[in-house]
Amino acid sequence: MNIISKPSPNFFKGRKNYQPIAIVVHIMEGTLDGTDSWFKDPASKVSAHYGIGTTGTIHQYVQETDSAWHAGRVNAPVWRLIKHTSSGGFINPNYYTIGIEHEGEDDSDWTDEMYASSSSLIKAISNRWHIPLDRDHIIGHHEIYSLKTCPGDKVDLNKLIALASGAAPAPEAAPPVQILQLGSATATARLNIRSSPNRNTAPIATVAVGTMLTYDGFTETGESISGNAKWFYTSEGSWFWSGGVN
Protein backbone atom coordinates (compact mmCIF):
# COMPACT_ATOMS: atom_id res chain seq x y z
CA MET A 1 0.00 0.00 0.00
CA ASN A 2 1.62 3.24 -1.19
CA ILE A 3 0.93 6.22 1.07
CA ILE A 4 2.06 9.71 0.04
CA SER A 5 2.98 12.10 2.85
CA LYS A 6 1.26 15.51 2.72
CA PRO A 7 1.91 16.91 6.23
CA SER A 8 -0.64 19.23 7.79
CA PRO A 9 0.20 21.65 10.62
CA ASN A 10 -3.33 21.26 11.98
CA PHE A 11 -3.22 18.70 14.78
CA PHE A 12 -2.71 18.20 18.50
CA LYS A 13 0.55 16.48 19.38
CA GLY A 14 -0.25 13.14 21.00
CA ARG A 15 -3.64 11.94 22.22
CA LYS A 16 -3.86 13.01 25.88
CA ASN A 17 -3.33 9.43 27.06
CA TYR A 18 -6.15 8.09 24.85
CA GLN A 19 -5.65 5.75 21.93
CA PRO A 20 -7.74 5.28 18.78
CA ILE A 21 -10.84 3.15 19.30
CA ALA A 22 -12.68 3.99 16.06
CA ILE A 23 -12.21 5.11 12.47
CA VAL A 24 -14.35 8.00 11.20
CA VAL A 25 -15.24 7.99 7.49
CA HIS A 26 -15.58 11.42 5.85
CA ILE A 27 -16.35 12.83 2.40
CA MET A 28 -14.19 15.75 1.24
CA GLU A 29 -16.94 17.71 -0.50
CA GLY A 30 -14.23 18.47 -3.04
CA THR A 31 -11.12 17.09 -4.68
CA LEU A 32 -8.05 15.41 -3.27
CA ASP A 33 -5.83 18.25 -4.52
CA GLY A 34 -8.12 20.83 -2.96
CA THR A 35 -8.12 18.97 0.35
CA ASP A 36 -4.31 18.77 0.26
CA SER A 37 -4.18 22.57 -0.01
CA TRP A 38 -6.89 23.15 2.61
CA PHE A 39 -5.28 20.89 5.20
CA LYS A 40 -1.86 22.48 4.54
CA ASP A 41 -3.24 25.93 5.42
CA PRO A 42 -3.00 26.71 9.18
CA ALA A 43 -5.92 29.11 8.81
CA SER A 44 -8.29 26.28 7.89
CA LYS A 45 -7.89 24.70 11.34
CA VAL A 46 -8.98 21.32 9.97
CA SER A 47 -7.28 18.10 8.96
CA ALA A 48 -7.66 14.33 8.91
CA HIS A 49 -5.16 11.54 9.20
CA TYR A 50 -5.68 10.34 5.62
CA GLY A 51 -7.29 11.28 2.33
CA ILE A 52 -8.23 8.90 -0.48
CA GLY A 53 -8.77 9.94 -4.10
CA THR A 54 -11.15 8.47 -6.65
CA THR A 55 -8.23 6.59 -8.25
CA GLY A 56 -7.33 4.98 -4.92
CA THR A 57 -4.40 7.31 -4.15
CA ILE A 58 -3.78 7.62 -0.40
CA HIS A 59 -2.37 10.77 1.22
CA GLN A 60 -1.38 11.01 4.88
CA TYR A 61 -1.74 14.39 6.60
CA VAL A 62 -1.28 13.56 10.30
CA GLN A 63 0.45 10.70 12.10
CA GLU A 64 -1.89 8.21 13.77
CA THR A 65 -0.23 8.85 17.13
CA ASP A 66 -1.36 12.50 16.93
CA SER A 67 -4.87 13.97 17.01
CA ALA A 68 -6.07 15.32 13.67
CA TRP A 69 -8.81 17.97 13.68
CA HIS A 70 -11.55 16.06 11.89
CA ALA A 71 -14.31 15.28 14.40
CA GLY A 72 -14.00 17.73 17.28
CA ARG A 73 -17.48 19.22 16.97
CA VAL A 74 -20.21 17.17 18.63
CA ASN A 75 -23.93 17.60 18.05
CA ALA A 76 -26.63 15.10 19.03
CA PRO A 77 -24.29 12.13 18.58
CA VAL A 78 -25.70 8.67 17.97
CA TRP A 79 -22.32 6.96 18.17
CA ARG A 80 -22.61 4.51 21.06
CA LEU A 81 -18.95 4.69 22.11
CA ILE A 82 -18.52 8.46 22.37
CA LYS A 83 -16.78 9.36 25.62
CA HIS A 84 -18.35 11.63 28.24
CA THR A 85 -16.83 13.97 30.77
CA SER A 86 -17.74 13.71 34.44
CA SER A 87 -19.92 16.80 34.03
CA GLY A 88 -21.97 15.26 31.21
CA GLY A 89 -20.21 16.85 28.26
CA PHE A 90 -18.18 15.10 25.58
CA ILE A 91 -14.48 14.36 25.47
CA ASN A 92 -13.10 15.58 22.13
CA PRO A 93 -13.44 12.59 19.75
CA ASN A 94 -10.27 13.71 17.94
CA TYR A 95 -8.27 12.20 20.81
CA TYR A 96 -9.58 8.68 20.28
CA THR A 97 -10.47 8.40 16.58
CA ILE A 98 -8.68 8.26 13.24
CA GLY A 99 -10.18 10.21 10.35
CA ILE A 100 -10.17 9.21 6.68
CA GLU A 101 -11.40 11.68 4.05
CA HIS A 102 -12.61 10.52 0.62
CA GLU A 103 -12.72 12.50 -2.59
CA GLY A 104 -16.12 13.60 -3.88
CA GLU A 105 -19.42 15.07 -2.76
CA ASP A 106 -22.21 13.77 -0.53
CA ASP A 107 -23.99 12.33 -3.57
CA SER A 108 -20.91 11.04 -5.43
CA ASP A 109 -20.74 7.35 -6.27
CA TRP A 110 -17.66 5.69 -4.80
CA THR A 111 -15.26 4.05 -7.23
CA ASP A 112 -14.03 0.49 -6.84
CA GLU A 113 -10.55 1.96 -6.34
CA MET A 114 -11.77 4.05 -3.40
CA TYR A 115 -13.38 1.03 -1.77
CA ALA A 116 -10.24 -1.04 -2.29
CA SER A 117 -7.83 1.58 -0.88
CA SER A 118 -10.11 2.62 1.97
CA SER A 119 -10.79 -0.95 3.09
CA SER A 120 -7.08 -1.83 2.92
CA LEU A 121 -6.22 1.23 4.97
CA ILE A 122 -8.98 0.51 7.49
CA LYS A 123 -7.70 -3.05 7.84
CA ALA A 124 -4.14 -1.85 8.47
CA ILE A 125 -5.26 0.76 11.02
CA SER A 126 -7.52 -1.71 12.83
CA ASN A 127 -4.65 -4.18 13.07
CA ARG A 128 -2.27 -1.57 14.49
CA TRP A 129 -4.69 -0.33 17.11
CA HIS A 130 -6.76 -3.49 17.70
CA ILE A 131 -9.95 -1.77 16.51
CA PRO A 132 -12.84 -4.20 15.86
CA LEU A 133 -14.24 -4.13 12.34
CA ASP A 134 -17.90 -3.42 13.02
CA ARG A 135 -20.36 -0.51 12.86
CA ASP A 136 -19.59 0.61 16.40
CA HIS A 137 -15.96 1.18 15.45
CA ILE A 138 -16.16 2.13 11.74
CA ILE A 139 -18.53 5.10 11.69
CA GLY A 140 -19.70 8.00 9.58
CA HIS A 141 -18.92 11.56 10.65
CA HIS A 142 -22.65 12.33 10.93
CA GLU A 143 -22.85 9.87 13.84
CA ILE A 144 -20.80 12.35 15.87
CA TYR A 145 -21.97 15.62 14.30
CA SER A 146 -25.62 15.37 13.29
CA LEU A 147 -25.70 18.71 11.45
CA LYS A 148 -23.75 17.15 8.58
CA THR A 149 -24.66 14.19 6.37
CA CYS A 150 -20.96 13.31 5.93
CA PRO A 151 -19.92 10.91 4.39
CA GLY A 152 -23.13 11.15 2.36
CA ASP A 153 -25.67 8.64 1.15
CA LYS A 154 -23.60 6.80 -1.47
CA VAL A 155 -20.97 5.03 0.62
CA ASP A 156 -21.77 1.55 1.90
CA LEU A 157 -20.07 1.31 5.29
CA ASN A 158 -21.00 -2.33 5.68
CA LYS A 159 -19.25 -3.06 2.38
CA LEU A 160 -16.13 -1.24 3.60
CA ILE A 161 -16.15 -3.31 6.78
CA ALA A 162 -16.67 -6.56 4.88
CA LEU A 163 -13.81 -5.78 2.50
CA ALA A 164 -11.53 -4.78 5.37
CA SER A 165 -12.30 -7.99 7.25
CA GLY A 166 -11.67 -10.11 4.16
CA ALA A 167 -15.26 -11.26 3.97
CA ALA A 168 -17.33 -11.12 0.84
CA PRO A 169 -19.69 -8.13 0.89
CA ALA A 170 -23.11 -9.15 2.10
CA PRO A 171 -25.67 -9.62 -0.67
CA GLU A 172 -28.06 -6.75 -1.15
CA ALA A 173 -30.69 -6.97 1.54
CA ALA A 174 -34.24 -7.87 0.61
CA PRO A 175 -36.70 -4.99 0.85
CA PRO A 176 -38.09 -4.66 4.38
CA VAL A 177 -41.42 -6.29 5.06
CA GLN A 178 -43.77 -3.32 5.48
CA ILE A 179 -46.86 -3.60 7.66
CA LEU A 180 -49.55 -0.97 7.10
CA GLN A 181 -50.60 0.74 10.33
CA LEU A 182 -51.32 4.47 10.41
CA GLY A 183 -50.29 6.29 13.55
CA SER A 184 -48.12 8.92 15.19
CA ALA A 185 -45.27 9.04 17.67
CA THR A 186 -43.26 11.63 19.57
CA ALA A 187 -39.47 11.83 19.43
CA THR A 188 -37.93 11.20 22.85
CA ALA A 189 -34.46 12.29 21.67
CA ARG A 190 -32.98 14.04 18.65
CA LEU A 191 -33.94 11.58 15.95
CA ASN A 192 -32.45 10.97 12.52
CA ILE A 193 -34.77 10.43 9.57
CA ARG A 194 -33.27 8.13 6.95
CA SER A 195 -33.99 6.86 3.46
CA SER A 196 -33.85 3.23 4.57
CA PRO A 197 -34.36 1.42 7.90
CA ASN A 198 -30.69 1.26 8.89
CA ARG A 199 -27.82 3.51 9.95
CA ASN A 200 -25.83 2.73 6.83
CA THR A 201 -27.43 5.68 5.06
CA ALA A 202 -26.75 9.25 6.12
CA PRO A 203 -29.68 11.14 7.69
CA ILE A 204 -31.89 13.16 5.37
CA ALA A 205 -33.19 15.17 8.33
CA THR A 206 -32.96 15.35 12.12
CA VAL A 207 -35.90 16.25 14.36
CA ALA A 208 -35.85 17.67 17.87
CA VAL A 209 -37.11 16.11 21.09
CA GLY A 210 -40.89 16.41 21.31
CA THR A 211 -41.48 16.46 17.55
CA MET A 212 -44.66 14.68 16.53
CA LEU A 213 -44.15 12.27 13.63
CA THR A 214 -46.85 10.52 11.63
CA TYR A 215 -46.24 7.19 9.98
CA ASP A 216 -47.99 4.89 7.52
CA GLY A 217 -46.65 1.66 8.96
CA PHE A 218 -43.62 -0.18 10.21
CA THR A 219 -41.21 -3.02 9.61
CA GLU A 220 -39.64 -5.37 12.10
CA THR A 221 -36.87 -6.35 9.67
CA GLY A 222 -34.82 -3.14 9.81
CA GLU A 223 -31.39 -2.81 11.39
CA SER A 224 -31.45 -4.09 14.96
CA ILE A 225 -30.25 -1.44 17.42
CA SER A 226 -30.01 -2.55 21.04
CA GLY A 227 -32.11 -5.55 20.09
CA ASN A 228 -34.86 -3.47 18.47
CA ALA A 229 -35.31 -3.89 14.69
CA LYS A 230 -38.63 -2.04 14.41
CA TRP A 231 -38.65 1.07 12.19
CA PHE A 232 -41.55 3.27 11.12
CA TYR A 233 -42.00 4.49 7.54
CA THR A 234 -43.73 7.66 6.39
CA SER A 235 -45.82 8.59 3.37
CA GLU A 236 -42.71 10.27 1.90
CA GLY A 237 -40.82 6.98 1.97
CA SER A 238 -38.50 7.90 4.85
CA TRP A 239 -37.81 5.90 8.00
CA PHE A 240 -37.18 6.45 11.70
CA TRP A 241 -36.20 3.99 14.43
CA SER A 242 -38.91 3.05 16.93
CA GLY A 243 -36.41 3.23 19.80
CA GLY A 244 -36.26 7.00 19.41
CA VAL A 245 -39.98 7.62 19.93
CA ASN A 246 -42.61 6.84 22.52
If the chain, 246 residues long, is cut into consecutive pieces of 10 residues, what is the mean pLDDT of each piece? 96 97 97 98 98 97 98 94 94 98 94 96 97 96 94 91 80 80 94 88 86 96 90 95 94
CA 233, CA 211: separation in Å to the nearest integer? Answer: 16
CA 225 distance to own-chain centroid: 16
- So what's the pLDDT on residue 169? 56
Identify the CA nearest to 50 among candidates 19, 72, 26.
Answer: 26
| CATH superfamily entry for domain 179-244 | SH3 Domains (2.30.30.40)
The residue type found at 10 is N
Going from N- to C-terminal start, the domains of the chain cover 3-165, 179-244
From the CB of residue 224, how many other CB atoms can be counted at a distance below 10 Å? 11
pLDDT at 173: 61
Q: Which value, in Å, is the radius of gyration of the alpha carbons in the chain?
A: 18
Do 218 and 170 meet the contact criterion of CB atoms below 8 Å apart? no
* CATH homologous superfamily of 3-165: Peptidoglycan recognition protein-like (3.40.80.10)
DSSP strand pairing (191-193 vs 67-68): unpaired
- H or E stretch at 117: helix 112-129
Please tell me the distance from the alpha carbon of residue 102 to that of residue 189, in angstroms, as a whole number: 30
Cα dihedral across residues 70, 76, 82, 87: positive or negative: positive
pLDDT at residue 112 in the model: 94
Q: Helix (H, G, I), strand (E, B), or coil: what is residue 37? A: helix
Same fold yes or no, 3-165 and 179-244: no
